[in-house]
Structure 1
Amino acid sequence: MADKTTHFGFKQVDWEEKQRRVAGVFDSVADKYDVMNDLMSLGIHRLWKRFAVEQSGARPGQSILDLAGGTGDLAARLSRIVGPEGRVVIGDINASMLNNGRERLLDQGIAGNLCFVQANAESLPFPDSSFDCITMAFGLRNVTDKQKALDSMFQILKPGGRVLVLEFSKPVAPGLKSIYDLYSFKVLPLMGRVIAGDEESYRYLAESIRMHPDQDTLKSMMERAGFEDCDYFNLCGGIVALHRGFRF
């Protein structure tokens, strides 16, 4: 596979190199990730995540996997729903993000039903049919082999369970694309440089959004993995989409 290439933002890199480069990005931004999320989205990312939790169907006693769970935003909400009889596993490939999330949730006194696992979404280290629900917020676009990750999620989801993928997507509202492009490629890197001291990582984040599959393509990929009744919800004019699928 050494001669196989994939995209890292707008650049083409060796297939196996992308994971290392993405790790470098998140090692760099981990300490400022929460602050930048609030600034970049004007706090709206919290509403997107709240909507994802509402669509999760989480109930007391369930087991939930939050992939790319890094800072623990979804996990904190989900842990309160599943309660002491349930569990929420936070999985993230990046140790820096995982450590930041662990410290943040411990500071909030949220720990009893949480556990943290460093895991690659393409080959999840859990038995088949382990989870009632799998969530992944703003992480799939950074995975090298997205189809393989969706296949792996399907394998470890219980029959009757659901998967939720919250991700930046393609604007569908009239006139929104040009404004969004201006913000992404001019304002966002500038904010990265001034606030996080890292312009290049935030330029990559903007580029990675453009390279991510659009709404219908991702829906088809989920169906290919085996998920049924797949649908999606466009949020903020399609800047973000929440995809949902079930295993029956």
Structure 2
Amino acid sequence: MSQNKNTIDFGFAEVPLEEKVKKVKGVFDSVAGNYDIMNDVMSMGIHRVWKRKTIELSGVRPGNTVLDLAGGTGDLTKAFAKRVGKDGKVVLADINESMVRVGRDRLINEGIVGNVDYTITNAEALGFPDNTFDVATIAFGLRNVTNKDKALEELYRVLKPGGQLMVLEFSKVTQPMLAKLYDFYSFNILPKMGKFIADDEASYQYLAESIRMHPDQETLKQMMLDAGFDKAEYINMSEGIVALHRSWKF
């Protein structure tokens, strides 16, 4: 995180605060059409395992109201919609209209209708009343938020008492040798894959850089507590390549 209050990190670069949202939007406008296939290729399909674990630990049940923030193309929304049933509601929310459009079209095509709403919203100013959701998730989106502390405070606000926030995000690799291999893959292979598959090397270079700039496990845990959550913990997956952070509003 930049130490200059007027600038913020965009990958390894420093940009004015007001420009980050526009730059992140540009990245996801560029990758929206190839987002799902790139996720499968980049992670060798393991992202599905990470998301399945998140869904299993969510405790979502029929009749619940769920916020899938930075929901993108709808992987989590699809699973939650099946769990909440006809009496529940899932809101797929994202700041990027292109991603929401792809997610909406995909889920409608797969017959997920009736209990899913779609909305364009900024994580730092969620357009929902206090105490709305039983569960909120943000998967692979928090690192792109300009003011992460504000976003966590907003997520706390919109959760009901007893509600759970789940943040699934790339994190700090715990095994030194794997960390070296992961760095090599991230900066030498991943951008080339982006160029070959999506004709977009720059966006995937940003992806690698944004992962390295994201707070580590203990830092993010403390940020959740500072945002008001009463309890916070995390589970490392794939040796810390990804961590699932969970926090509760009591």
TM-score range, shorter chain: over 0.9
Following TM superposition, where does structure 1 have runs of at least 4 consecutive aligned residues deviating by more than 3 angstroms?
Answer: none
Where does residue 155 of structure 2 map in the other structure? 153
Give the alignment of 1:187-206 within 5 angstroms. Answer: 187-206=189-208
- What's the CA shift string for 1:17-71, capped at 9, x where partnerless? 0000000000000000000000000000001000001111101000000000010
- Which ranges of structure 1 fall in alignment gaps of 5 or more residues? none
Where does residue 123 of structure 2 map in the other structure? 121
Cα deviation, residue 111, structure 1: 1.4
1:9 aligns with 2:11: yes
1:25 aligns with 2:27: yes
Query: How far apart, CA to CA, are the structure 1 residues paired with 2:143 and 2:185?
Result: 19
SS in 2 for 1:245: strand
- What's the CA shift string for 1:124-158, capped at 9, x where partnerless? 00000000000010000000000000000000100
Give the alignment of 1:30-179 within 5 angstroms. Answer: 30-179=32-181
Query: How far apart, CA to CA, are the structure 1 residues paired with 2:53 and 2:63?
Result: 21
1:13 alignment partner AA: V
1:240 aligns with 2:248: no
Percent identity of equivalent pairs: 58
Query: How far apart, CA to CA, are the structure 2 residues paired with 1:202 and 1:118?
Result: 23
Cα deviation, residue 174, structure 1: 3.5
Q: Please, what TM-score do these two structures have when normalized by structure 1? A: 0.98
Cα deviation, residue 3, structure 1: 7.2
Q: Please, what TM-score do these two structures have when normalized by structure 2? A: 0.98
Query: How far apart, CA to CA, are the structure 2 residues paired with 1:89 and 1:46?
Result: 20
- Which ranges of structure 2 fall in alignment gaps of 5 or more residues? none
